[in-house]
Structure 1
Amino acid sequence: MAKAIRILILIFVWVKYSQANDFPSLLVANATVGVIIDHEYLGEEYEKTFEKMKEIIERVIREDLKGAGLNIKYYSWSKINFNKDFTAIFSIASCTSTWEIFEHVQRERLLLMAITDPDCPRLPLHEALTIPRIKIGVELPQIILDIRTSHLVNWKTATILYDDIFDRDTISRVANALSVESASLAMSISLLKLNSSTDVYERRENIKKSLLSFPIRNVGSNFLVIATIPMTIIEVATEMNMINTGSQWMFLISNPRKTNVSQLMTYVKEGGNVAIASNNTIINGSCSMGEDCLYHELFKNFAMSLSKLVREEEAIYSQISDEEWESIRLSKRERRDSMLEFIKERLREEQLCKPCVNWKFESIETWGLRFDMSESGKLKPFKPVSTYTAVWEPTNGFIHYDKIYPHIAHGFRNRSVPIAIYHNPPWQIVSYNDAGQVTGMRGVTVNILKELADKLNFTYLVHNVERNVNRSGYSFWDDFNVTADDDIKSTFNLPVDILELVTDNMVLFGAVGLTVHETYEKMINYTYPISVQAYGMMIPRPKELSRLYLFLSPFTLETWLCLSFTIALIGPLFYAVHYLSPYHEHHQITKKGGLFKVQNCFWYMYGALLQQGGMYLPRSDSGRIIVGTWWMVVLVVVAIYCGNLVAFLTFPKMEISVNSISQLVKSQEQGGFTWSIRSNTFLESFLKETDIEKYVKLNESTENHEIVSKSTISRVRSGKHIIIDWETNLLHIMRKEYLETDKCEFTLIFLCIFSGNEKFLDEKIGLILPANSPYLNIINDEIYRMLQMGFINRWLSEYLPKKDRCTSKISSMEIENHTVNLADMQGCFLVLIAGIIAAIFIIMIECCCRRYRVLDDKKLIKPFVK
């Protein structure tokens, strides 16, 4: 009775909710499986396969399906209507038909178990199960295809190296597996056939010749080696330095008896990225790769997953209400994913039909192994380590255990590596306690080190070279807790202890800023420059020039002369045109007074220049054209003059005594400036080695100093000495002097830009690596990325002096609101006074002339005599 009531309740729930849900629950309806056996694909094998399938399915339903019902629908073609009643689809069809079925099944979120052609891209692993019908010995193209579909590698280009033992059809299928677009993104493929001569020397030379002539730069650095004897290939590639941190090599060994992994590992050097796939296929009685066994296992696992889901749903349904059940029961996608995961897990762990075909993938770890320490504290000899990363089977495809190229994915894999460093602000600042122990590190290179450790996934053990505290003098770096008796080292010279650590390959790299110079080029490698230090000259702050003649500054002397000549010429020219015009005779106008006098024409043109009108205007058209043209000239001249005058009022003109190296050398020849540079620097070395005349003269009169003393700064303040150094060093000196005196007594002339048609020295600063380090390229790539992102410039700016009112450059002073004062107007008053004096002088001359004429007229008067 209770069972009948339960059935009635289930029927009621199904009737009530079947309208609202897009699929029935397994508690109220049997699961439906569509079995597609494509007659066109199987051909003569169709009847036999169909009978086998029916027999297998009936046995599975009878023996393995527990607590659930299952409806089977058979189809002999692939184009059917997949409605919501289906739970899963089992198909045996061609590759094209399989993907078409998947597109329809995907819309209904059904489980698809597909058996298809070899060399067919597998369906998405999280949505369907694909098993290719592979024969033993021809599985290589399917392996290559699965490498792509499973994203075991992410190559955009690949070069296939193969010998002439493999036939053209196999190589063509391998190339097609790499280039087929339906698998994933398209890949560019290059083929290189190698000669498999029996003579070892001849084979080596042929391989070397082929690799040398191959355009590696154009086809990329990803290599797939398919050869019966790959030993010679890896040996030659290592010799040519083609196996490095930027390349990826995969060796497919079809005959592991002739070549094993341990033999290949002996040729892999540090920094290489090498993966080896070896064929572990064993043909004996323990493997049963028959299709009948495969069909039975797939249906059995499906039936078991279905039974498991029914049991779980019954257990949940018995504890909740109908409404709650409908809201929490599995969706169609969740049911598909659950069954698919169960089937895959069974195939991986409890596979009954053991496949004969099996390939084992191993990766060779090399990065950082050179720095492994022995129990005695010494470095172990370099020895690569192989890691089991994946296995391939036809049924499961790839089963991953680790990344196929662990260093590409995880860098140094959190390995601890030694790093060399020493105190040299601001590049690396090492803090010490009273006992001389290191308490902390910071600085530009330390920030770069931390970023490299994060991106390349390594930890570091610092080898610190202790500082010497045997100097005293001026320190640039008081803001960095560096006392005046610190040994401020140059980036040009490297401490011997650091140099030995790097040259002896005892450290991964030196986290020290060093000037790129040929001195150490044969012993070490420089990274991409982390900074380019430009040079400058510190001179006494220029004084502002007198503004007495400010009103003359907008125009040059030549402009003023041309303008004066124009005024002197335009008056007589206007008089001539006006006087000779027939207009006046035609209208019977008397040519007297007004513009018929030269002096009146001159003063009219002068008044127009000052934007003043005149008492007379020409009546003739020719005269009016002259006047109108002159007015246009006046508008342009006045506008330019007013604009430039405002600019000269806003930007006071500074008297810069020297602006380039050429001017500095010339001033010294005339008994002007002296100059000095720091000793043991790149600049000192450059001046000693150069043969350029002006730099030779500069070096001949240069004073060298190890530290910038107070007396040297006093000489600069007095205006007779110049310090040539890095711009950053000079900025620190100026900042310190400003804080002490609260005066802006110095300015900086930058020599890193074109000034005086010359470009002075730029000093490149880089990190250092051992000469044969394989990690130079990857570290350079990371440093270049930091530069592009602006990280290094930001870190360097943290150690530059803060801006103050003394840091503005002479060449680009900031605009300030300028109130016109008496100094700006003194030129105007000078002109007024000069005009008044000239007027007084002229009036005196006029009075004298007038008196002279009166006296002369009196002499001419004679008495009248009758």
Structure 2
Amino acid sequence: MLFTPEFENTTADPNSIRTLNNILESINEKVAVPPQISFESDYGDAYTQSNQKHFFLEKMRDKTLKMVVPAVEPPYVNYVNFTDAAVTEKGYGPGVVIEILKEIGKRLNLTFEIVPASGSTWGEYLNGSWTGAFGQLVRGEVDLLAGGAIMEYDRSVISDLTYPFQFEPTGIMIRSPEKYEDDTLLIVTEPFSWEVWVITAAVILISGVIFLGMTNILRKVYKEMSVTPFESIWVFFSIFVQQGLPEQPRSWSCRVLVALWWLASITLSATFTGSLVALFAVDKTNLPFQNIEQLVKLVKQGRFEIVMDENSFTRTEMIARSKLPVYRDLWHEMNVNHKVKYVNGISRGVAFVRANPGYALLGPMATLNFYAYSDCKVILLNDGILPVYLSIPLAKHSLYSSYFSTKIREMVERGFTQKWIADYRSYVAMQKINECNSTTVGPKSYLDLKRAQGAFWVFLGGVSIGVTLFVGEFIFKFFREKMTKHDDVGKPFEEVTTVSPNSIQNIPNTGNLDSIQPSEPPLNENNIADNWSLRRRNVLNLSLDLSRIAN
């Protein structure tokens, strides 16, 4: 059966969401009092004595092992069938765990008998006993659990956990938000964040100040170009917008500064152009949060709630036991304010999140990745939380523990586990089971006015500023001339003394200009009166000959 999200009749099922009373009560009891299990354990390594090389192969061959499949969770358990005909029929493998069991079964000629699961899928330790699949393993009803079990201390005490075949973080899945289309009037500012714009403006100002100081100092030595503070800043703004300079600097220091600025501006221009093209051509999705810290903040605000699988409380216990502040706050919201819902299985959790915004599903990253890959109405965050190791549990002190661990380690080191996961991912991609193929309209092949209006608004803004400055220059010139005339009228008349050529007499032919002295007629009462009259007339007509005025 092809792996597809099971959405039918899941969100409407009243049994798909359990009440929190028993769940939270059992988890609080388990976290508050560490379990006292009466089993002897040599727990020390992450897996049980997998370094032993002496296997009792003859005792292990030709046996029948009973196993239980706790849950079908791709890509670890896609379906339960050990025949090669099933792979040919379905077109994809049974999953990583089943592939491992098939390979070991071929080497030892083993037969696997599937036992139906009882109770919850994986089970937990409650009131001194284990429930679910681990309960069957403890009671000796089965020899192994066919699934990817999270490695933890409680489980290692009552079972032999093999060498881990996968390192997996916990994924966060939410409903896909609405697509983002930028209709802002200043779309040209979108390619860069506001931090980049602020830093660019600051660098232009700082470079202008440095350039101004360098030109003022070097002008005395290299006859460097002379610039005002405004012109100095405008030089680097012109470089930033890919404009030429009216005058090139003459000194090498200023030339190097300008040349490196040209190189930086080319890089910024290419980045700006590429980001702007991507902004027009690619739809952008605005996520309500980017990490667990932001999610916890939204949970506190009542805008989000947590959804988890009720069949395994391991991740819930990890949150409850964590000492990190972010997980302590999350556990407080889950335990005290009951901002958590438990669903019966990952598929039901995906269906619930898909149908209801404002919920975040926490589950195995690889499994959620396939759901997100096959349905565009859910999205998986890139960063995971609460990383864990996955292994295959066997009965305590099983004869097969060391052999299983050794062979699993060899498969992991040779890349078989990752290959099986990649093969299944390729198969899902080829099936094109994304339902958005029939509902999503492809990107437009042209740039419409709705998305390009920002550029025209910038153009109109530039024209408006240019016209305003044009009018302002004439107004400034008018008031400046008016103020200049006002200053000239307010000044008192000054006496102007001119020397006529006729007043120069008896110039000796020595070439010494200092010896040239104007002739001074003797002063008398008539001369004084004439001098006063000429001075008053010269105020109105400076072309009069004042050679007769005595000093």
Range class of TM-score, shorter chain:
0.5 to 0.7
Q: Distance in 2 between matches of 1:582 and 1:527?
A: 78
Alignment partner of 2:272 out of 645, 659, 664 = 645
Q: Distance in 1 between matches of 2:96 and 2:297?
A: 39
CA deviation after TM superposition for structure 1 residue 446, in Å: 3.1
Q: Distance in 2 between matches of 1:551 and 1:779?
A: 53
Q: Does 1:768 align with 2:409?
A: no
Q: Does 1:422 align with 2:48?
A: no
Q: Does 1:532 align with 2:170?
A: no
Alignment partner of 2:200 out of 528, 549, 560 = 560
Q: Distance in 2 between matches of 1:767 and 1:608?
A: 63
Q: Give the equivalent residue in structure 2 for 1:787.
A: 412
Alignment partner of 2:53 out of 222, 241, 246 = 246
In the alignment, residue 363 of structure 2 is paired with which amino acid?
A: D
Alignment of 1:133-532 (within 5 A): 246-247=53-54, 272=56, 367-368=59-60, 412=61, 415-422=62-69, 424-426=71-73, 427=77, 429-430=79-80, 442-456=94-108, 458-460=109-111, 462-465=113-116, 489-490=121-122, 499=134, 502-503=137-138, 508-532=143-167
CA deviation after TM superposition for structure 1 residue 425, in Å: 0.7
Q: Does 1:727 align with 2:358?
A: no
In the alignment, residue 342 of structure 2 is paired with which amino acid?
A: H
Q: Distance in 2 between matches of 1:689 and 1:628?
A: 62
Residues 573 and 552 of structure 1: CA distance in aligned 2, closer, same or farther (over 3 Å): farther
Alignment of 1:55-94 (within 5 A): none
Residues 747 and 505 of structure 1: CA distance in aligned 2, closer, same or farther (over 3 Å): closer
Q: Distance in 2 between matches of 1:566 and 1:444?
A: 59
Q: Distance in 1 between matches of 2:95 and 2:244?
A: 71
Q: Does 1:634 align with 2:269?
A: no
Q: Distance in 1 between matches of 2:485 and 2:433?
A: 75
Counterpart contact for 1:535–1:762, Cα < 8 Å: yes
Cα shift readout 1:142-191 (whole Å, capped 9, x = no counterpart)? xxxxxxxxxxxxxxxxxxxxxxxxxxxxxxxxxxxxxxxxxxxxxxxxxx
Larger radius of gyration: 1
Q: Give the equivalent residue in structure 1 for 2:343.
A: 706
| Structure 1 SS opposite 2:157 | coil
Cα shift readout 1:72-108 (whole Å, capped 9, x = no counterpart)? xxxxxxxxxxxxxxxxxxxxxxxxxxxxxxxxxxxxx
Q: Distance in 2 between matches of 1:461 and 1:611?
A: 72
Q: Give the equivalent residue in structure 1 for 2:477.
A: 850
Which structure 1 residue ranges, 5 or more long, are not aligned?
1-241, 248-270, 274-364, 369-411, 432-439, 469-486, 585-593, 739-743, 753-759, 808-815
Residues 670 and 599 of structure 1: CA distance in aligned 2, closer, same or farther (over 3 Å): same
CA deviation after TM superposition for structure 1 residue 661, in Å: 1.7
Cα shift readout 1:413-471 (whole Å, capped 9, x = no counterpart)? xx23232223621327458xxxxxxxx99554333222112112x23251522678xxx
Q: Distance in 2 between matches of 1:506 and 1:774?
A: 16
Q: Distance in 2 between matches of 1:504 and 1:646?
A: 67
Alignment partner of 1:686 out of 303, 313, 318 = 318
In the alignment, residue 343 of structure 2 is paired with which amino acid?
A: E
In the alignment, residue 725 of structure 1 is paired with which amino acid?
A: G
CA deviation after TM superposition for structure 1 residue 683, in Å: 0.7
Alignment of 1:543-622 (within 5 A): 543-544=179-180, 546=182, 547-550=187-190, 552-553=192-193, 556-566=196-206, 568-570=208-210, 572-573=212-213, 576-577=216-217, 580-581=220-221, 595=226, 606-607=237-238, 610-616=241-247
Cα shift readout 1:292-322 (whole Å, capped 9, x = no counterpart)? xxxxxxxxxxxxxxxxxxxxxxxxxxxxxxx
Counterpart contact for 1:514–1:767, Cα < 8 Å: yes
Residues 735 and 647 of structure 1: CA distance in aligned 2, closer, same or farther (over 3 Å): same
Alignment partner of 2:428 out of 791, 802, 805 = 802
Counterpart contact for 1:509–1:770, Cα < 8 Å: yes
Q: Distance in 1 between matches of 2:307 and 2:409?
A: 35
Q: Give the equivalent residue in structure 2 for 1:750.
A: 382
CA deviation after TM superposition for structure 1 residue 712, in Å: 3.9
Residues 636 and 528 of structure 1: CA distance in aligned 2, closer, same or farther (over 3 Å): same
Give the total of aligned pairs.
Answer: 398
Residues 791 and 849 of structure 1: CA distance in aligned 2, closer, same or farther (over 3 Å): closer
Q: What is the TM-score with the length of structure 2 in the denominator?
A: 0.59
| Structure 1 SS opposite 2:154 | coil
Q: Give the equivalent residue in structure 2 for 1:695.
A: 327
Counterpart contact for 1:677–1:705, Cα < 8 Å: yes
Q: Distance in 2 between matches of 1:551 and 1:450?
A: 52
Alignment of 1:108-127 (within 5 A): none
CA deviation after TM superposition for structure 1 residue 641, in Å: 0.6
CA deviation after TM superposition for structure 1 residue 513, in Å: 3.8
Counterpart contact for 2:191–2:276, Cα < 8 Å: no
Which structure 2 residue ranges, 5 or more long, are not aligned?
1-48, 82-89, 335-339, 435-442, 491-538, 542-551
Cα shift readout 1:104-145 (whole Å, capped 9, x = no counterpart)? xxxxxxxxxxxxxxxxxxxxxxxxxxxxxxxxxxxxxxxxxx
CA deviation after TM superposition for structure 1 residue 650, in Å: 5.7
Residues 851 and 463 of structure 1: CA distance in aligned 2, closer, same or farther (over 3 Å): closer
Counterpart contact for 2:169–2:364, Cα < 8 Å: yes
Q: Give the equivalent residue in structure 2 for 1:388.
A: none
Q: Distance in 2 between matches of 1:651 and 1:527?
A: 47
Cα shift readout 1:216-274 (whole Å, capped 9, x = no counterpart)? xxxxxxxxxxxxxxxxxxxxxxxxxx9x9833xxxxxxxxxxxxxxxxxxxxxxx658x
Residues 818 and 553 of structure 1: CA distance in aligned 2, closer, same or farther (over 3 Å): farther
Percent of residue pairs bearing the same amino acid type: 16
Counterpart contact for 1:537–1:725, Cα < 8 Å: yes
Residues 649 and 492 of structure 1: CA distance in aligned 2, closer, same or farther (over 3 Å): farther
Q: Does 1:663 align with 2:294?
A: yes
CA deviation after TM superposition for structure 1 residue 525, in Å: 1.0
Residues 559 and 462 of structure 1: CA distance in aligned 2, closer, same or farther (over 3 Å): same
Residues 605 and 505 of structure 1: CA distance in aligned 2, closer, same or farther (over 3 Å): closer
Q: What is the TM-score with the length of structure 1 in the denominator?
A: 0.39
CA deviation after TM superposition for structure 1 residue 604, in Å: 5.4
CA deviation after TM superposition for structure 1 residue 699, in Å: 1.8
In the alignment, residue 658 of structure 1 is paired with which amino acid?
A: F
